[in-house]
Amino acid sequence: MRRHLEKWIIGVTRKMNLHSKILVLYGLILLLPTLALGTGAVYLVIHSFNQSYMSAADEAVRQSARMVEFSKMSYDLLAVRTATDGELIARLGREYTDMPEIVDTVNYVDRTFLITSKYLPGIADFRIYHTNESLVQDGQLLWRPEDRNLSGMDERSWYRIGMESDTPLLWSNVPNNPKMNIITRKIIGPSGELLGLVYILLNYDAVFGELLDHPFKGSGRLYIVDMKHRILTASDPASIGKHILLKGEAATDDTPISDAGTSEKGGNVLDLTQTRELQIIKPLQSGWQVVALIHKKRMDHQNLTILLLIVGITALFLLLSVSLMMVIVKNIVWRIRKLGARMSDVAQGEFDVTVRNQNRDELGDLENVFNSMSERLGKLVEDITRAGLMEQEQAFRSLQAQINPHFIYNSLGLLRWRAMDVKDDEQIRIIDALTTFYRLTLNNQISVIRVRDELDHVKAYLDICQFRYPGRVRVEWEIDEAALDCYTIKTVLQPIVENCYQHGAIARQPDARIVISAVEVNGRLRLSVYDNGLGIAEKTKWELETGTYVSSSSKAWSNGNGFGIANIRKRLALYFGGDATLKFLGERGAWTRVELDMPTRSSPPQIRREAQND
C-alpha cells in the first residue's frame, strides 16, 4: 500500500518542479487539517489552563483558611481557658473583708495568668476586668472598668459592649487602628451572673501579618470576615472594620443602609458584588469566612500558552512536510545524512573514514572529494601535531640557552687557576660550587634528570649562599634513598631555594633554617623546601597556586631568574599534565613550604602528546 501511494504521488507530481510540489502538498494535505487540529488544541489548552488555575487558587485559599482557623482557635482557647478557670470565677465572685485575702487573690491571678498571657505571639496586652467592689485592681492583670482610655475608647464603654454582646466571645477592631484586634470573653459565675471580662489586645502583624502580607504573591487580596460580615483583618488595611457585600448577596438589616453600595474607597460597606476578580469564599467552623479576591491577569497569560501551542503545531506541520518530501527525495536525503555522519566522525578527530559510493552523479563526486579530503586532513593533523611538539621542545630549550656556556666554563677555569696560584682555598671552593651549579643549569641537551643530580645542583647553590652569608642559615636534608634514582624535571628546586633568600629574607632571620626533603611514597615523588623566613601571604599563595599573578609579590615569585615559579609550573604541565601539583603552604611572618608532587618515574619522562593543546 505504501509503495503504491508513493508511485501515485510521484506520477502526479512528475511534471512539477520541487517548489511547486511542496506548495501543493503543503496546502492540500497539511494546511487545512493542521488548522482544524490547531483550533481544537487551542480550545483544549485554554480550558485546561483555566481549570488548573482555578484549582490552584482554590487550594491556596483553603490553606489560608486553615491557617486562620488554627490561629483563631489558639487565641480563643486562651481566652476561654482564662474565663472558665474555676478558681478565678470563685475568687471574682467572693466578698472580701480583709487585706490578706485580697493580696492572696492578686498573687494567684498574677502567678497563674501572667505566664499564660505569654504562650502565644502577638499579645500586646492581657487584662482581667471585674466589678467586685471588695476586690482591688493591681494595674497588672486585675482591673475595674473606669474612665481610662482603652484601645481607642473608654473602659466603661468597652465593658458595656462586652456585657451586651449576644455571644460570650467577641472579636473586634481597635477604632482608628487597623493594626490591632481585641478579644473579649465574658467571665460568668455559677449562677449565670456576669463577673467580668477577659481583655486580650492582639498585634495584627504578629497574628495575621504573614498570612495577609502580599497574599497570592501580590496578585490578590484576602479578607477575614466575622459572623456579621464585618472585616476583622485584611491585606488592605483601609477596608478593616467595614461590612462586606459579596456576590450573590444583598444588604441585610445589619448592613448600614446609608452606605450600602459604596465602593471600597469610602463608606462603611465594601461592595464586591460587581467585581470582575475571581472571588473564593471559605467558611470556618467558628462562623467566620475567609474571602479571597484573585486577579485574573495570570489567566490572561494563557496567550503565551496558546502561542507555544501554535509553535508546536507549526513544528508538527513542518515535520509532516519533511516526511512527505522524503517520499520524493528519499535517496538524496539518505546519502546526505550518511555523508554528514562521516563528517561528524571527522569533527570528532577520526580521519580514517570513507564513504562508499557506486553512483556517478553530483553526490557521488562530492563523496569522492570528501574521501580525498579526509585522507589529506589526517596527514595534515599528524604533521601539525608533530610540529607542535617540536616547537614546544624548542621553546623550552630556548629558555635555557640564555648564557654562552663555553664562555662561562672558560672564565671559571681561569679564575680557579688564578685562585690556585695564590692558594686561596675559599675562593677555589666558591668557584667549584659555581662550576657545579652552571654545569647543570647551562646544559641545554637535557630537560629531565635524576633526583640525586637535582639535589647536587641545589647543594652547589646553597654552598655559594653559605659563602655569601657565612653561619647565618642552617641547611637540613631529609632525603629518602628510594627517591634518589627517580627522575624529575631539571632545575625545579633551586629557584624555590633562591626565593627563600630573596623573598623569605632567610639570611636576616634569627635561627634561620632551610629544610629540603625528597621522598617516594606509593608511586609518588614528593619534593619540598621549607624555610622559617618572612612567610607568605594568603593572597600570594592563592595567586601562585592558580597562576593568577596580580600582586607585585606573586609576580616576583613567578618570574625569578628565568626559572621562576611560572616556568616550573609550565614544565611540570609539559611532562606530567594535571598529574603533577605545585602547592604553597605557610604563614605570614613565620614560615613557608613549597611542595612538588609528581608521579614516580624510573625512566626519563617524555613530553606529552597533548601538551601542544595545553
* Beta strands across the sheet bearing 591-599: 473-479, 512-521, 524-531, 591-599, 581-587
What CA–CA distance (Å, rounded) separates 186 from 162? 7
The SS3 assignment for 426 reads helix
pLDDT (0 to 100) of residue 246: 83
What CA–CA distance (Å, rounded) separates 312 from 325? 20
pTM beyond 0.85: the answer is no
Fold of 84-207: Beta-Lactamase (3.30.450)
- Look up residue 141 and give its DSSP letter: S
pLDDT (0 to 100) of residue 599: 94
pLDDT (0 to 100) of residue 257: 41
Contact between residue 98 and residue 134 where contact means Cβ atoms under 8 Å apart: no
The SS3 assignment for 501 reads helix
What CA–CA distance (Å, rounded) separates 557 from 566? 8
Dihedral (CA of 529, 531, 534, 535) sign: positive
Residue with cell string 498573687: 107
Any residues with CB less than 8 A from the CB of 266 and at least 6 apart, and which?
A: none
Q: How far is CA 166 from the centre of its chain?
A: 56
Cell readout for 474 is 642552617
- State the Cα angle at 453 between 451 and 456, rounded to 5°: 110
Task: Supply the DSSP string of 4-67, one letter for each residue.
Answer: HHHHHHHHHTTTS-HHHHHHHHIIIIIIHHHHHHHHHHHHHHHHHHHHHHHHHHHHHHHHHHHH
**Assigned CATH for 446-613:** 3.30.565.10
- What is the mean pLDDT of each successive set of 10 residues along the chain, which is 614 residues long? 74 61 65 71 72 81 87 89 91 90 90 80 90 87 90 88 89 84 91 91 82 78 86 84 78 47 56 81 87 75 67 71 61 66 72 66 69 76 73 59 54 64 70 70 75 90 85 92 92 89 88 93 94 87 74 56 72 88 90 93 82 52
Amino acid code (one letter) for 350: E
Name the nearest CA neighbour of 243 among 258, 256, 233, 253: 256
Residue with cell string 629518602: 480
Contact between residue 608 and residue 532 where contact means Cβ atoms under 8 Å apart: no
Contact between residue 260 and residue 251 where contact means Cβ atoms under 8 Å apart: yes
CA distances from 65 to 68, 224, 225, 336, 340 (A): 5, 9, 11, 64, 62
Q: Specify the DSSP element, H or E, that contains 550.
A: none
pLDDT (0 to 100) of residue 197: 94
* Partners of 200 in beta bridges: 126, 183
